[in-house]
Chain A
Amino acid sequence: MNFAALLRIALRALAVNKLRSALTMLGIVIGVGAVIVMIAVGAGAQARVEEQIRALGSNLLLVMPGSTTAGGVRMGFGSGSTLTEDDVVAVNREIPEALAAPALRGAAQVIWGNTNWSTQVFGVTPEYLDVRQWPLASGRSFEPAEMAAAAKVCLIGATVAKQLFGSSDPLDQSIRIKRVPFTVIGVLDVKGQSLMGTDQDDLVLVPIKTARSRVLGTASAARNRTVGTIWVKVADGIDTKVVEEQVRSLLRQRHRIQAGADDDFSLRNLAEVMAAQEASSRVLALLLAAVASVSLLVGGIGIMNIMLVSVTERTREIGLRMAVGARTRDILGQFLVEAVTLSLIGGLIGVALGIGGSLLIAQLAGWRIVISPEAIALAVAFAFVIGVFFGFYPARKAARLNPVEALRFE
């Protein structure tokens, strides 16, 4: 008996009990739809994390000064002033695979005309933009002469540009940072939120020397050239862990730290932080899909239930088919095709519903979703497997009926 004939028999049998078939399919429809929506949402979340990682740069090391102790109270990383611009120079000189850029951070009120905005001011070097991979939307970066002369020029983030200037062009305008006038020479491209949820566009960059002397500076800071953080970008194709150890040993050596003593700085490998973030978002996506799969499984049990009922109802038909020459595999095939037809039709409707549902969620909730062909193929394949798995037992029950008893069945 060929497949087309089996399919026709299956469709006719399903058409006899339309409502029952539809309700049985509904389990699979919901299951497949849920799987597709959940995979789309999970993959969307994952894609967002990956995007942020790309934006941040996955080959970054972050060096922060060690802690200070004030009256027995240890202040935590970043409170000390153990890192200096000389450390930055040394890293760039000694480790060719690394590009280091310092940053000094402080908060400041910035004013343009009659508008003002409270933001973060960073004192940086031109390398900082390379290290953070922050492109400029317009204007230019700092020039060496400006760095050396502590020029009063600044780059502003997209949020600051919007808050201060609205729709007017910020380039070459003069803004005041802590009452010191600065000329805006460039606007940074939009970077969006960081993984921690802070707005990466809400900042102003100025030359580090200018920051130290004009904006954030204290007399001592100006003297000892300390910096708040050092970002280190590892060249492409180089293992960040190797460079991490090189930077660590160089800094220990420069800071004259004895073997066995603790570092007076903290060195973090952002690639690892990101990897952990990515792993957790992947686990979340998997979990969502797994939960949705449970409903698919329940749908499969529904199919099995109905197929068992169907086999019992059609015992005489099975007996007759056997009497006129149906072999075990013909009967097995007939009921298996019926179960798989139920699950596959349900699966296809579920795919349509899942895609529709995902798009709806994207519209209503504004979530990022990713509908991949692989996920759809997986869901349909899963529906098929469910049909075979849960259809097999009833089909085998049918195929194993004794023809004499089946014919006599009332």
Chain B
Amino acid sequence: MLIHTRELVKVYRMGDSEIHALDRVSVDIDKGEFVAVMGPSGSGKSTFMNVLGCLDRPSSGQYALNGKNVSELAGDELATVRNRNIGFVFQQFNLLPRTPASENVELPLVYAGLPKKERHERAKAMLERVGLGERAHHHPAQLSGGQQQRVAIARALVTEPLLILADEPTGALDSRTSLEIMALLQELNGQGMTVVLVTHEADIARYARRILGFRDGQVVQDEMNEALAA
């Protein structure tokens, strides 16, 4: 069991009222799964994603990542967990501007404290894996959207994490490029990488093997993807 949550609750205070962004969410995800988290905005899928990614702590409930309880860790400990175990892919790519692709990919390794030589080698290997070996020295502004997202995926993979969390990874891409990115994620999943994807597009969710539907902070749907299962 890679991800194991029990009764996750996240409450936000908005003035006098309390908003239950997560309402007793219990979900298990195994190694090697490809899960799409779906739901309309405000359904709690982003909050769920943030908690899974150790960016946010639940108000109550348990979250064990790879058997380790991470729901009560302090900020810097969470940073280490993120650094070692989780690769993020964002809708807006979030690459450092005016910084070569290779250095963007190296960034998590810098915080892991790896020596320069090893960082270079691993970043180079990872860029080749996403098909951008030739563009290592290009700055984000010199790359297309799809290429930028590939760099971001290489950055997510470079620490050899336990799982990839992709938050609307195709939200800023045209449909053709979206297909390429989804194919890449699918390929990584085929190589054994656990992928959790947040999206509101059914077309994109189709690439996942399991779909979790959120509404009002609760899981209202948890089923295998029929199309792929077949």
Contact = CB atoms under 8 A, between A and B. Distances in A.
Interface of A: 1, 5, 12, 16, 316-317, 319-330, 403-404, 407
B83 A407 contact: no
A300 to B, nearest CB: 27
Majority secondary structure of chain A interface residues (helix, strand, loop or mixed): helix
B56 interface: yes
Contacts of A330: 111
A407 B110 CA distance: 20
9 contacts: A16-B97, A317-B94, A324-B82, A324-B111, A325-B84, A325-B159, A326-B79, A327-B75, A328-B79
A219 B222 CA distance: 130
Given A324-B82, A327-B111, A404 B98 contact: no
A324 B97 CA distance: 16
Contacts of B96: 317, 320
Contact of A325 (B92, B94, B112): B112
Given A1-B111, A317-B96, A325 B56 contact: no
B126 to A, nearest CB: 13
B14 to A, nearest CB: 14
A5, A16, A316, A327 interface centre (most CB from chain B within 10 Å): A327
Interface string B119-145: 000000000000000000000000000
B58 interface: no
B55 A328 contact: no
Nearest to A406: B55
B111 A325 contact: yes
Contacts of A329: 76
Given A324-B83, A328-B79, A404-B55, 8 more contacts: A316-B94, A317-B96, A322-B55, A323-B55, A324-B111, A324-B155, A325-B159, A407-B94
Contact of B80 (A1, A12, A320, A325): A325
Contacts of B98: 12, 16
A320 B113 CA distance: 17
Nearest to A400: B75
